[in-house]
Amino acid sequence: MVNYQAHETAVIDGGCSIGEGTRIWHFSHIMERCVIGKDCTIGQNVVISPDVVLGNHVKVQNNVSIYTGVTCEDEVFLGPSCVFTNVLNPRSAISRRNQFKPTHIGKGATIGANATIVCGHTIGKYAMIGAGAVVTHDVPPYALVVGNPSRQIGWISEYGDKLNFDDSNEAVCQESGQHYKLENGCVKRSF
C-alpha cells in the first residue's frame, strides 16, 4: 500500500523506501534504493540519485540535485536549485563511481538557494548555509556561513535567528527564548 503522494509525472524507480505522508511533485526522479522519511516534501524537477538517504520532515525545493553519497538527517531544508557533488575531480571519459565521497547534513540544517556543497564534508546540525555559498569544508553545528568559498560569519539558533553572544559566551534566541553557550569554538543549546 502506498502511503505517500506522487504527481503522475514523477518517476520512482524500484527498491525505494518512501515514508508515509511524503509528497513528490512534478517531473522529479527518485532513483533506486533511495530512503526518504515520512512527511517529506520533494519539489518539482528534483533528482535524488541511488542510495541517498533523507530523514523525516525534509523539505527539498525545486530543481535540487542530490547525488549518491548524500545523507540528510531529520528536518533538513534544501533551498531551490542547491546542488551536491559526489566526486572531487570528475571527468566525462573516466568512471569514478568507486571514488564517491560521502556528505552528511545534520538535523535541522538549512542549505540556501543555489548553494553548492562539495562532497566529502559534514554540515552540522542547525547550521545555515547562505544562498549561493560554495561549501568546501566541514561546517560546525549552528554555524552561519556565506560566500564563495564559504566562510563563517556567525552563529544561528534552531529557529534561524542570528545569535549574539555576551561576555559570558551566552546567547538567547530572540524568537524562541532558547539559551545557547559558546565554548571552545562550539555552540551548544543550554537548557
pLDDT tens-digit profile, the chain (191 residues):
679 999 999 999 999 999 999 999 999 999 999 999 999 999 999 999 999 999 999 999 999 999 999 999 999 999 999 999 999 999 999 999 888 999 999 999 999 999 999 999 999 999 999 999 999 999 999 999 999 999 999 999 999 999 999 999 999 999 999 999 999 999 999 97
pLDDT at 2 (0 to 100): 79
Which residues are within 8 A (CB) of 146 and not within 5 positions of it... i.e. 6 or more apart? 129, 130, 133, 153
pLDDT at 1 (0 to 100): 64
pLDDT at 104 (0 to 100): 98
Question: Domain limits of the chain?
Answer: 5-156, 163-191
> Which fold, 5-156?
UDP N-Acetylglucosamine Acyltransferase; domain 1 (2.160.10)
Which residues are within 8 A (CB) of 187 and not within 5 positions of it... i.e. 6 or more apart? 140, 141, 142, 143, 155, 163, 180, 181
* 8 CA to centre of own chain: 26
**pTM score:** 0.95
pLDDT at 93 (0 to 100): 94
